[in-house]
Every structure is written in C-alpha cells, then in structure tokens.
C-alpha cells in the first residue's frame, strides 16, 4: 500500500493561502487544511508547530511579494510611502490575509525586509537613533491598521457594497436636523468609507511622515546608506 504523499513547506503554504481566499482566519484550521491536502494534521505539525505559526508564515509571503515589487527611490518619505503602497497592493490581492498579518504579525524574511527598509528610511530622515524605534512602531501600527481596514472592505461582495452605500445614503440624507444638525448640514458632502480609499490612505500616511519630518531639526537629515 502506497504511503501518503509528503507535502513540502511551500506546497502547504500555497494550499493554506488558497484556502484563506475563501474563508476567514477564524474559521481556518489545520484540520481543514490537512483535509484539503489529503493528509492528517500531525503531518503538517512537522512543518509548523501551531495554527498561529502557519498563519504567520502565510502572511509573511505577502510581505515578500510586496518587497519583490518594491523599488526604493526618492527621499526617505517617498521610500516609506512607496513601500506602504506596495504592501497595500499585495494584501489587496488577498485581503483575508491582511487581518491575519495585523493580528498575528510575522517574524519571517518578508517582515524583516520591510522592517529594515523602514528603519533605514527613518535613519535617513535625520532622527536620532534613540527616537527611531518609537517612530517605527507608530508607523507600523498605522500602516497595518490602514491596510487591514481597507482589506476588510475588500472582502465584501458587490451586493454588500451596494447595500452599504444605500444604507449610508438613507442614514445621512435622512438625518433629523434637530438631533443631528452637523450631519444634516454636511449630508450631501459626506462620503462613504469606500470612496477614494487610496487617496485617504496616502493622505493619512503623508501626515504622519510630515509630523516626523517636522520633529527633525534642519540639517540633521543624513544621506541614504549613511552609517550614523
């Protein structure tokens, strides 16, 4: 009797990523993945010690894809913005994994490459080394939150989107001006969350980068690649 096929780590991750395309992380399980692969859970645990470790590895592959498409150009702010947009696009191809990344984080190669680039960019901004870790953390939290928020909307069906837009119009345009005076005043100009998401993403991130730049004294910026 032939033994069961032995799946490679990459094949397991490919199948897990495909399974996550059609299901939420909460409903994903190693048992379901094993069933799709035609094997048992114990064989998968030889590759990954837990479901969380497996999910982190799948999410890290998205970061690797983002880094493959990233080309560092311009000043430090442009580098961070370009990297964030590459990550946004990569997770946009598989929005379910954005929530996985935001929840479980990652310590794989993709994560380290992204961290390295942001830290290098912050050093080039002129910030003193002692301020960089805290600034990096705030940027990472902001980028992850923006990507996860947009990805969540990306999992909705066209019917869900249209229903949401209709509910928004009813809620806003039908607002009682006595109870909601400001909402009634701006009703025709307030837009649903799904409108111009990319512009909002860039504007919010640019504001954070400008805040960092404003904290740097004139003349403190260092050229890219400098070993402060």
Q: Is the pLDDT of residue 133 over 60?
A: yes
- pLDDT class of 119 with cuts at 50, 70, 90: very high
pLDDT for position 110 = 92
Length of the chain: 228
**Residue range 118-131: mean pLDDT, rounded:** 96
pLDDT for position 79 = 96
pLDDT for position 135 = 96
Would you call 98 helix, strand, or coil by DSSP? Answer: helix
Would you call 116 helix, strand, or coil by DSSP? Answer: helix
DSSP 133-155: HHHHHHHHHHHHHHHHHHHHHHT
Beta-carbon contacts of 20 under 8 Å, excluding residues fewer than 6 positions away, are 28, 58, 94, 96, 97, 100
Average pLDDT over the chain reads 84
For residue 130, being part of any structural domain is answered with yes
Residues 51 and 45: their CA atoms lie apart, in Å, by: 9
For residue 101, being part of any structural domain is answered with yes
CB atoms within 10 A of CB 130: 7
For residue 1, being part of any structural domain is answered with no
Q: What percent of the chain has pLDDT over 90?
A: 43
Domain count, the chain: 1
Give the domain CATH number at 149: 1.10.357.10
pLDDT for position 222 = 47
**Residue range 67-84: mean pLDDT, rounded:** 94
pLDDT for position 32 = 92
Lowest mean pLDDT among 19-23, 34-38, 80-84, 212-216: 19-23
pLDDT for position 142 = 93
Token reading at 86: 């590459």
Range(s) of the domain holding residue 78: 9-155+196-214
pLDDT for position 2 = 46
pTM: 0.78
For residue 84, being part of any structural domain is answered with yes
Q: Is the pLDDT of residue 228 over 50?
A: no
Residues 11 and 6: their CA atoms lie apart, in Å, by: 10
For residue 33, being part of any structural domain is answered with yes
Nearest to 144 by CA among 186, 194, 188, 104: 104
Q: Is the pLDDT of residue 208 over 50?
A: yes
Q: Is the pLDDT of residue 221 over 50?
A: no
pLDDT for position 224 = 46
Q: Is the pLDDT of residue 58 over 50?
A: yes
Look at 155 and 1; give whichever has higher pLDDT: 155
Beta-carbon contacts of 159 under 8 Å, excluding residues fewer than 6 positions away, are none
């Amino acid at each position: 009797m032939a033994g069961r096929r032995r799946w490679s780590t990459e094949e397991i991750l490919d199948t897990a990523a495909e399974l996550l395309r059609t299901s939420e992380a909460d409903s994903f399980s190693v048992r379901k993945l094993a069933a799709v692969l035609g094997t048992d859970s114990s064989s998968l645990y030889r590759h990954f010690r837990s479901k969380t470790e497996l999910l982190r590895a799948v999410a890290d592959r998205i970061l690797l894809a983002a880094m493959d498409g990233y080309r560092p150009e311009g000043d430090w702010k442009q580098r961070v913005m370009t990297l964030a947009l590459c990550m946004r696009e990569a997770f946009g191809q598989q929005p379910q994994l954005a929530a996985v990344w935001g929840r479980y984080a990652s310590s794989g190669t993709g994560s380290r490459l992204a961290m390295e680039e942001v830290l290098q960019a912050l050093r080039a901004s002129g910030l003193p080394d002692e301020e960089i870790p805290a600034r990096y953390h705030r940027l990472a939290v902001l980028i992850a939150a923006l990507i996860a928020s947009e990805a969540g909307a990306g999992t909705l069906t066209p019917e869900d989107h249209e229903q949401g837009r209709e509910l928004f119009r009813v809620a806003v345009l039908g607002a009682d001006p006595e109870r909601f005076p400001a909402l009634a005043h701006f009703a025709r100009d307030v837009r649903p969350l799904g409108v111009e998401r990319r512009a909002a993403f860039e504007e919010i991130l640019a504001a954070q980068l400008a805040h960092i730049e404003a904290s740097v004294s004139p003349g403190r910026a260092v050229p890219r690649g400098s070993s402060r």
